[in-house]
Amino acid sequence: MGKNLATKILEAHLVEGELVPGREIAIRIDHTLLQDATGTMAFLEFIAMGVPRVKVELAAQYIDHNLLQTDSKNADDHVFLMTAAQKFGIYLSKPGNGVSHQVHLERFGVPGKVMLGADSHTPTAAGLAMLAIGAGGLDVALAMAGHPFHLPCPKIWGVKLVGKLPPWVSGKDVILEMLRRHTVKGGVGKIIEYYGPGVATLSATDRGTIGNMGAELGATTSVFPSDQRTREFLESQGRGDAWHSLAADPDATYDEYDEIDLSTLEPLIACPSSPDNVVRVAEVAGVKVDQVIVGSSVNSSFRDLMTVCKILDGRKVAPHVSFNVNPGSRQVLENVAAQSGFMSLLLAGAQIHQPGCLGCIGMGQAPGTDQVSLRTFPRNFPGRSGVKNDRVYLCSPETAAAAGIYGVITDPRKLGELMPWPNVQNPEKYLLDDSSIIAPVADTSGVEIVTGPNIVPFPDFEELPEELAASVIIKVGDNISTDAIMPAGNKVLPYRSNIPAISRFVFDQLDPEFPKRAQEKGNGIIVGGENYGQGSSREHAAIAPRYLGIRAKLAKSFARIHKANLINFGILPLTFKNPADYDLLKQGDTVLFNELRKLVAAGAKEIPVQVDGQEIVTVLEVSERDRQDLLAGGTLNYVKKQVKVEA
């Protein structure tokens, strides 16, 4: 029986365990990726381990999120990241050089490598047949220090692609079709592997788009084979020597199957306010559009932006529409400019911004009150744009450009009445300039890490107590995102290296009084529904609640990365044995955990809790290694203890 590609890569990197779905495994990491919204805290954690230099093949730090400098905080943190990267042997991509995912694809990605990134959209590297996994900053810091990455062994979900995309339909519509079919929970615990004859019709950047938004399915990661299209992209980047062929065996099997006939797809759009609220564009055509943004984390490649340039060439954006373009990298910007693409945008009335994440993380570009915003971004969670009750749709560059011209949501196939389908291809040879990437040096003895006043040492957290009495501080529903738990945006992100300060914003959108109430109670728990903690990898959604006294989260189910982050910072991730017990709990209830430490240490899976005289059985589904971290009050505490023991 043949092997699928994901299994081959996992086997080549397996350090501990067996490849049996659900069992814990540990894998060796080749590349690590940090961005500035997660990198400051990851560096503080790395520094706390006392490791003099990174121990992976390649580590990269990108400054791509916190580019808006309204005071000294972001600028100070950029200097901290630059000097820390120099000190520890890490590549540094300067502000304005581009979004981590696009730049890593261009300049560093290698087929068959395993990458761990402190960004949930790290799986963009699927475009180069990398097994790239998003994780919390502490997990990435541990990988940088040479530790393997532990995770439950995922199932491998084979998605066969046949046919070829019709005109005006693109890679974005493929992943929107997956979300339409399977929802934001459909990929939980799975690696999505795309195979079949249709794969060869998709470019590396098309595949990157699909891999990027596999995170919205809740998938561990996605992967494509390394074939001639992969080779084309690497050769266009002057990195052809990095290519080698990788594919599933002809008789490979998968744990689950699906099939998409690309030729049958239509333009799709995700309506407010979830990436899986997907319908055909034709179903919502005619809705007035106020803002359009193309680029940022996804759909910011040359092909995507040049397609928009071709569509807008010789035309004007509708008078009432604000049309914005965020290139994925300086390279994309330079190559589009070399083909006169940006002149088309300027003359059409578009606004061109620096390469970066920008509005995708809520760093500027917020829409107005009650305005409709069409974005090629990967997420439209409520309030992520920076505006409460926002109306954000997710779509392809083609659909975005059509809306820009017509001023309303428009099926991009209508553009065929104005022009031939542009059918843009990536260049055979890109113009290359790596001057904004600072390479590591061998001798770092003279490098001093510069720490600004907003960088506060990592807080100390206590061990798990023998007994615990805690109050329900808040009760929330299904699909609560990390954006809802720990908002981003220009008001909050500058405090990412200052846990006491950023903790003031926990649940700011849902319940601004949460931080005050949590601190008053001392020990607290949070009650949630299904898929609690979906979305971003930001570990601040675990660290900040822990700082406020949260010791447990009790939910119907957890998103993978958030659950791992909770364990990393000593918060018990408990689920209801009987989901109906969710209804028994309300805000303000006191929950008693008897013999808690004893039960966790003994490996108990069921943890009984007392609520108003009733017993509710909760489930602690974690590994033995996770239990040691929880007992210690968090992974960093446990690692420090081990270092002392070894010394």
Listed residue (101, 133, 96) closest to 117, CA to CA:
133
- Both tokens of residue 551? 């010791």
How many domains, the chain? 3
- 110 and 252: one domain? yes
* Structural domain includes residue 579: yes
User: How many CB atoms within 10 Å of residue 224?
Assistant: 29
User: Which of 220, 235, 264 delimits the end of a domain?
Assistant: 264
- 491 and 548: one domain? yes
* Structural domain includes residue 461: no
- 275 and 242: one domain? no
Q: What is the CA radius of gyration of the chain?
A: 24
* Structural domain includes residue 50: yes
Residues 6+ apart with CB under 8 A from 443: none
Backbone angles phi, psi at 399, to 5 degrees: -65, -40
Residues 6+ apart with CB under 8 A from 373: 289, 290, 291, 292, 293, 367, 385, 390, 391, 392, 393
Give me the helices (H) in 51-149, please.
72-88, 100-107, 137-144
- 247 and 278: one domain? no
* Structural domain includes residue 446: no
* Structural domain includes residue 541: yes
- 192 and 302: one domain? no
* Structural domain includes residue 418: no
User: Which of 264, 295, 318 delimits the end of a domain?
Assistant: 264
CA angle 573, 577, 580 (to 5 degrees): 110
- 177 and 279: one domain? no
For residue 602, the domain's CATH number is 3.20.19.10
What pLDDT is attached to residue 644? 53
Residues 6+ apart with CB under 8 A from 613: none
Point out the residues of the chain with pLDDT beneath 50.
Answer: 645, 647
Listed residue (555, 568, 493, 492) closest to 526, CA to CA:
555
Listed residue (515, 563, 555) closest to 539, CA to CA:
563
Residues 6+ apart with CB under 8 A from 602: none
- 255 and 309: one domain? no
- 180 and 59: one domain? yes
191 vs 401: CA distance, rounded Å: 32
CA angle 423, 427, 431 (to 5 degrees): 145
Residue range(s) defining the domain that contains residue 278: 268-412
What pLDDT is attached to residue 530? 96
- 230 and 107: one domain? yes
Which residues are registered as beta bridge partners of 591? 470, 611
- 93 and 25: one domain? yes
Q: In what order do the strands lie in the sheet with 291-295?
A: 278-280, 268-270, 391-394, 372-375, 291-295, 322-326, 351-352
627 vs 638: CA distance, rounded Å: 10
Asked whether the beta carbons of 476 and 604 are under 8 A apart, the reply is: no
User: How many CB atoms within 10 Å of residue 425?
Assistant: 11
Amino acid making up residue 441: V
- 580 and 494: one domain? yes
* Structural domain includes residue 435: no
- 256 and 275: one domain? no
User: Which of 264, 292, 310 delimits the end of a domain?
Assistant: 264
* Structural domain includes residue 438: no
For residue 223, the domain's CATH number is 3.30.499.10
302 vs 205: CA distance, rounded Å: 9
- Both tokens of residue 410? 């428009």
